[in-house]
């Protein structure tokens, strides 16, 4: 076959020719140029002619040409455009209005249309200290959100409600203590994940929904195991329409708040929201979109926003929102919760925090704290560092939420 148009000569052949022409020094210079251009030499392929003198060939090496360093440089060369810099309550108010509007636009929250909730009770199970009810509500046209409502047996009349967002895994079952599936039970045990049950035992209505793409809301091709999810697929087909998965999660949680406020067993102004790991992202997004959420707990999720890039940390694509990193740090987003009570929890050896560990999380908490300081409500921002890795710890959050929802 003829060579591609515009490619004058084979790269390796040309390189061998130049090395021969330039001698050893030139070859070293070529290597230096190669390094400077970002090439990562794992193993270099033998150039044509290397075996001319019948010397044994060295092990074949292969060059890789990575893009991550370039992306890090790009990220660092373009500081976020909407950092929290307010020094007075008035400045904070105007920044927060712009920042919230930007978040709503970027996540696609402004592209969603509410449907009547049409709540349906579908059954109840006696779990000893509480009853686990299953409910359905509609959020958008043809979109239904199932949730468990854990009702403490001693609770009469209206009570405070805590929305318990599940993380990136098996959905609401683990949060609500439904451990029929061994995989779900294992996740619940390793992350201390059944916080719905913990809040119900503390006397609050615990609301445990499935987020789109998880649990009972998985699409048809992700149902082999309860731990599978459709979030990646939904993200792929939503982003081209300007809709992000986390935007849909937040939208559904807003609709859930609307429903809870309309019920006769919920104190309308005492609805909190908590989440661990991916559930922390749901809670944060919902807290920004829904100012009627009275308090929030975000566990195992606050870290530098570009951590997947900067620290080479894998996260599912459903954590991403187009253009978000251009405008905000995670601490800026957390600041949008102010002045409502916010508890940020992290494990002192959580590998997902970043290489700086707690220090990486502290930097984000410090950004958010500025908003609480400006408003004179630093007491409402709690940073709870627990001993351990990526896991939920109920010790502080459960009594703290109970206090917040009793005030
Ligand atoms: Zn995902």
- pLDDT beyond 70 at 308: yes
DSSP string, 282-296: HHHHHHHH-TT--EE
Give CATH 3.40.50.1820 domain extents, the chain.
82-406
320, burial (CB in 10 Å: exposed 0-12, middle 13-18, buried 19+): middle
370 CA to centre of ligand 1 in angstroms: 31
Q: How do residues 320-361 score in pLDDT, each as one tens digit?
A: 999 999 999 999 999 999 999 999 999 999 999 988 999 999
Q: 3-state SS of 51-116?
A: CCCCCCCCCCCCEECCCHHHHHHHHHHCCCCCCCCCCCHHHHHHHHHHHHHHHHHHHCHHHCCCCC
397 CA to centre of ligand 1 in angstroms: 25
198 CA to centre of ligand 1 in angstroms: 25
Query: Region 202-209: what's the mean pLDDT?
Result: 98
Residues with CB under 5 A from ligand 1 (ion): 231, 316, 318
Query: Region 58-83: what's the mean pLDDT?
Result: 94
Q: What is the pLDDT of residue 191?
A: 79
Instruction: Report whether 86 contacts 371 (CB < 8 A).
Output: yes
324 CA to centre of ligand 1 in angstroms: 17
Instruction: Choose among 180, 181, 168, 175: nearest CA to 207.
Output: 175
363 CA to centre of ligand 1 in angstroms: 26
pLDDT band at 53 (very low <50, low <70, confident <90, very high): low
How far does CA 131 lie from the centroid of its chain? 30
CA–CA separation, 366 and 368 (whole Å): 5
172 CA to centre of ligand 1 in angstroms: 15
Q: Are strands 130-140 and 143-152 parallel, antiparallel or unpaired?
A: antiparallel
Q: Which residue has the tokens 């890039």?
A: 309
169 CA to centre of ligand 1 in angstroms: 8
Mean residue pLDDT of the chain comes to 88
Total Cβ atoms within 10 A of residue 21: 9
Instruction: Pick the more confident residue, 224 or 28.
Output: 224
Secondary structure of the chain: what % helix, strand, coil (to 5)? 45, 20, 40
245 CA to centre of ligand 1 in angstroms: 8
The domain defined by 82-406 folds into: Rossmann fold (3.40.50)
DSSP string, 311-341: T-----GGG--TTHHHH--HHHHHHTTTTS-
273 CA to centre of ligand 1 in angstroms: 20
DSSP H or E stretch at residue 249 = helix 245-262
Instruction: Report whether 210 contacts 172 (CB < 8 A).
Output: yes
235 CA to centre of ligand 1 in angstroms: 8
Q: pTM (2 decimals)?
A: 0.85
364 CA to centre of ligand 1 in angstroms: 23
151 CA to centre of ligand 1 in angstroms: 30
- pLDDT beyond 60 at 78: yes
Query: Region 261-276: what's the mean pLDDT?
Result: 98
pLDDT over 90, % of the chain: 77
230 CA to centre of ligand 1 in angstroms: 7
Task: Tell me how far CA of residue 240 lies from CA of 71, 82, 190, 237, 340, in angstroms.
Answer: 22, 24, 36, 6, 34
């Amino acid at each position: 076959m003829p060579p591609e148009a515009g490619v004058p000569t084979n790269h390796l052949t040309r390189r061998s020719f130049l090395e021969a022409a330039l001698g050893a020094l030139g070859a070293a210079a070529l290597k230096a140029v190669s390094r400077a251009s970002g090439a990562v030499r794992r193993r270099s392929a033998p150039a044509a002619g290397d075996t001319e003198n019948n010397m044994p060939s060295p092990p074949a090496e292969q060059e890789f040409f990575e893009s991550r360093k370039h992306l890090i440089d790009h990220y660092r060369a373009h500081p976020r455009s909407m950092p929290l810099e307010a020094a007075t309550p008035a400045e904070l108010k105007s920044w927060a209005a712009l920042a919230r509007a930007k978040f709503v636009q970027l996540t696609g929250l402004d592209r969603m249309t509410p449907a009547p909730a049409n709540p349906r009770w579908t059954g109840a199970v006696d779990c000893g200290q509480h009853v686990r009810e299953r409910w359905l509500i509609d959020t958008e046209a043809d979109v239904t959100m199932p949730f468990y409502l854990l009702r403490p047996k001693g609770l009469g009349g209206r009570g405070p409600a805590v929305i318990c967002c599940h993380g990136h895994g098996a959905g609401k079952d683990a949060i609500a203590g439904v451990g029929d599936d061994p995989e779900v039970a294992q996740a619940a045990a390793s992350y201390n994940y059944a916080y719905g049950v913990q809040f119900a035992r503390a006397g609050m209505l615990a609301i445990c929904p499935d987020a789109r793409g998880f649990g009972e809301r998985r699409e048809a091709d992700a149902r082999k195991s309860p731990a599978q999810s459709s979030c990646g697929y939904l993200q792929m087909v939503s982003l081209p329409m300007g809709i992000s998965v986390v935007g849909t999660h937040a939208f559904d949680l807003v609709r859930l708040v609307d429903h809870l406020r309309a019920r006769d067993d919920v104190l309308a102004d005492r609805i909190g929201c908590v989440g661990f790991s991916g559930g922390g992202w749901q809670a944060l997004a919902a807290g920004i979109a829904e100012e009627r959420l009275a308090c929030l707990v975000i566990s195992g999720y606050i870290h530098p926003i570009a951590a997947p890039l900067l620290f080479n940390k894998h996260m599912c694509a459903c954590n991403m929102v187009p253009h978000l990193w251009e405008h905000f740090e995670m601490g800026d987003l957390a600041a949008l919760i102010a002045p409502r009570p916010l508890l940020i929890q992290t494990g002192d050896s959580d590998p997902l925090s970043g290489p700086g560990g707690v220090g990486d999380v502290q930097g984000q908490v410090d950004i958010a704290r500025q908003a609480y300081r400006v408003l004179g409500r630093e007491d409402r921002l709690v940073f709870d560092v627990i001993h351990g890795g990526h896991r939920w710890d109920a010790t502080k959050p459960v009594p703290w939420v109970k206090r917040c929802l009793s005030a």
